[in-house]
């Protein structure tokens, strides 16, 4: 998995730089790069679910393991924001009110991410004491 992640980092960096230099104008949202980023993070989150978290975490319930809260926040945010990232340039062309509406949804998803991260940090604190 370490080699896969290293390869993905290198490929994503090359893709991002090439998109920046070749494709995007200064006024466009980089929808392909952020969408690919979301897909990669979702892939890593799902692979975390199917991986072995370690033998100590198996004996705990799901809610007591801090990494599960972090991973849930990441999956919630990036899976919801993926479609917003994909459709941003289209929404700008169609309607500013539609654009504002979807970015309000994005802000709500980001709030959920931060709340789930806060719960995860509280769980880390409670397990460290």
Per-residue pLDDT tens digits for 20-67:
777 766 666 677 888 899 999 999 999 988 886 544 445 568 888 899
**Cβ partners under 8 Å of residue 35, min gap 6:** 82, 85, 86
Q: Is 127 exposed, middle or buried (0-12, 13-18, 19+ CB in 10 A)?
A: exposed
pLDDT category at 128 given cuts 50, 70, 90 is low
- Say if 58 falls within a structural domain: no
- Say if 47 falls within a structural domain: yes
- Say if 12 falls within a structural domain: no
Q: What percent of the chain has pLDDT over 90?
A: 40
- Say if 106 falls within a structural domain: yes
> How far apart are the C-alpha atoms of 59 and 68, rounded to whole Å?
14
- Say if 3 falls within a structural domain: no
Domain limits at 118? 25-53+63-128
> How far apart are the C-alpha atoms of 88 and 103, rounded to whole Å?
9
- Say if 96 falls within a structural domain: yes
How many domains does the chain contain in total? 1
Helix axes 2-18, 31-50, angle to 10 degrees: 170
Q: What is the mean pLDDT of the chain?
A: 85
- Say if 9 falls within a structural domain: no
Res 120: pLDDT: 94
DSSP structure class, residue 101: H
* pTM for the predicted model, two decimal places: 0.79
């Amino acid at each position: 998995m370490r080699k896969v992640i290293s390869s993905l980092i290198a490929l994503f960096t090359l893709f991002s730089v090439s998109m920046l230099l070749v494709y995007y104008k200064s006024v466009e949202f980089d929808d392909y790069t952020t969408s690919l980023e979301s897909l990669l993070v979702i892939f890593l989150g799902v692979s975390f679910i199917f991986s072995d978290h370690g033998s100590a975490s198996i004996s705990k319930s799901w809610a007591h393991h801090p990494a599960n809260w972090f991973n849930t926040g990441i999956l919630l945010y990036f899976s919801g924001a993926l479609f917003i990232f994909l459709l941003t340039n289209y929404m700008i062309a169609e309607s500013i009110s539609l654009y504002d509406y979807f970015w309000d949804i994005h802000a709500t998803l980001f709030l959920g991410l931060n709340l789930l991260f806060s719960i995860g940090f509280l769980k880390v604190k409670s397990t460290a004491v």
